[in-house]
Amino acid sequence: MSKRLLITGGAGFIGGHLVRHIFRAHPDYKVRVLDALTYAGSRENLAEFEGDPRFEFVHANILDIDRHRDAFDGMTDVIHLAAETHNDRAILECGGFVIADVLGTQRMLQAALEAKVERFVHVSTCEVYGSIEKGQFKEEDAFHPNQPYSASKAGGDLIARAYHRTHGLPILIVRPVNNLGPNQFPEKLIPLMISRALADEPLPIYGDGKQIREWIYVEDCCAAIDTVLHKGIPGEAYNIGDEIERDNLTVVQTLLAMLGKPEGKIEFVKDRPGHDHRYALDVTKVRSLGWKAKVGFEEALQRTVDWYLANREWLETIQSRSAQHREFLKKWYDDRMAQTS
Ligand code: NAD
């Protein structure tokens, strides 16, 4: 049956790719994106869908969902991506992360419960499990988040679980590894390093750069989210990844080689406090639903580098907006934090 999807955070990095994936995989579906357009969200990420009768955009904050209940009108399912997502900023302004990622998630869950949606996919992260030296985390493993961002996401993940257990809301939780691909705001490792390398600026790497992350091409992640939406069992969580491990230094060296830039600008800086050493997920469960990743790491990185080279205007526009947005957001959250304390 044709679905009508409410996608929160759809103007962000994964969100724009997810809308494209949904329309390609299910041309008869309708999508309504709800997004506050923080510094990380951009209508440019959704430009190709403007005017498409299957697509709608609602400019709203998930925290204010009570004032935007009509966003749920006619929607069958929800995919909840909206969140504050940058680890470094969470160290500086943790309150905003707790408010958006925990309280914001709870408000969406409550609204979805009242709207009686058929399925609610909550997008969590691999980081909720914490660091692992050997082996891989399975979905039922305990959470040991070490950073304010991961802890906020863990809070949202647990509230989502509780809404299933307590209220019977048909929740599906996904926990993806690091995504890479076009349209990512240039504060995360790969777009940050690409944008700085293009400007011949120093390339700061935390500690010795030997922290290991798992990577997945954003289109593969969107296909996995779609698979879980349709084939997952409500109440269950699904890790999303493809067992591709790379240390941060290797990632930066590889992208510099692709850009034809020297490694001399790499600067090792004091490590991030609480920095996890290694993330690794067991992805047997999502694969058992029939999903399989299609793009390997080097190909994904090459596609990403090529996109940033061809879209320098996007990079400049989004960078120039961010300072303004940051100020606005800080005030917005300060006001709300004052209200909740
Ligand atoms: P992003 O930062 O690029 O986009 C987040 C989007 O959410 C933006 O469009 C922003 O405007 C919107 N938003 C933020 N706060 C909001 C609020 N209060 N109300 C409404 N909209 C709001 O993030 P992303 O990388 O696309 O990540 C999407 C989701 O996937 C997040 O929940 C993130 O935690 C999770 N995730 C991301 C990755 C990754 O590698 N990018 C990995 C695992 C999990």
Q: How far apart are the CA of 124 and the centre of ligand 1, in A?
A: 10
Q: Which of 125-139, 181-195, 222-236, 297-311 has the lowest mean pLDDT?
A: 181-195
DSSP structural state of residue 136: -
> Residues lining ligand 1, CB < 6 A?
8-9, 11-15, 35-38, 40-41, 61-63, 81-85, 100, 104, 123, 125, 153, 176, 178-179, 185
- At a CB cut-off of 8 Å and minimum separation 6, what does 141 contact? 129
Which residue has its alpha carbon closest to ligand 1 atom 33?
Answer: 85
For residues 275 and 207, the answer to whether their CB atoms sit within 8 Å is yes
Residue-level pLDDT at 327:
61
Residue 329 confidence class, pLDDT cut points 50, 70, 90: very low
Instruction: Give the model confidence (pLDDT) of 32-88 as tens digits.
Output: 999 999 989 999 999 999 999 999 999 999 999 999 999 999 999 999 999 999 988
Mapping DSSP to helix (H, G, I), strand (E, B) and coil, where does residue 315 land? helix
Of 20, 15, 312, 19, the residue nearest 191 (C-alpha): 312
Q: How far apart are the CA of 42 and the centre of ligand 1, in A?
A: 11
Q: How far apart are the CA of 121 and the centre of ligand 1, in A?
A: 14
Q: How far apart are the CA of 329 and the centre of ligand 1, in A?
A: 15
- Between CA 71 and CA 142 the distance in angstroms is 34
Q: What is the chain's mean pLDDT, rounded?
A: 93
Instruction: Give the model confidence (pLDDT) of 191-226 as tens digits.
Output: 999 999 999 999 989 999 999 999 999 999 999 999
- DSSP H helices in 184-311: 189-198, 218-231, 248-259, 284-287, 297-310
Ligand 1 atom with least separation from CA of 240: 43
Torsion of CA 212, 216, 222, 228, to 10 degrees: -70
Torsion of CA 156, 160, 162, 167, to 10 degrees: 140
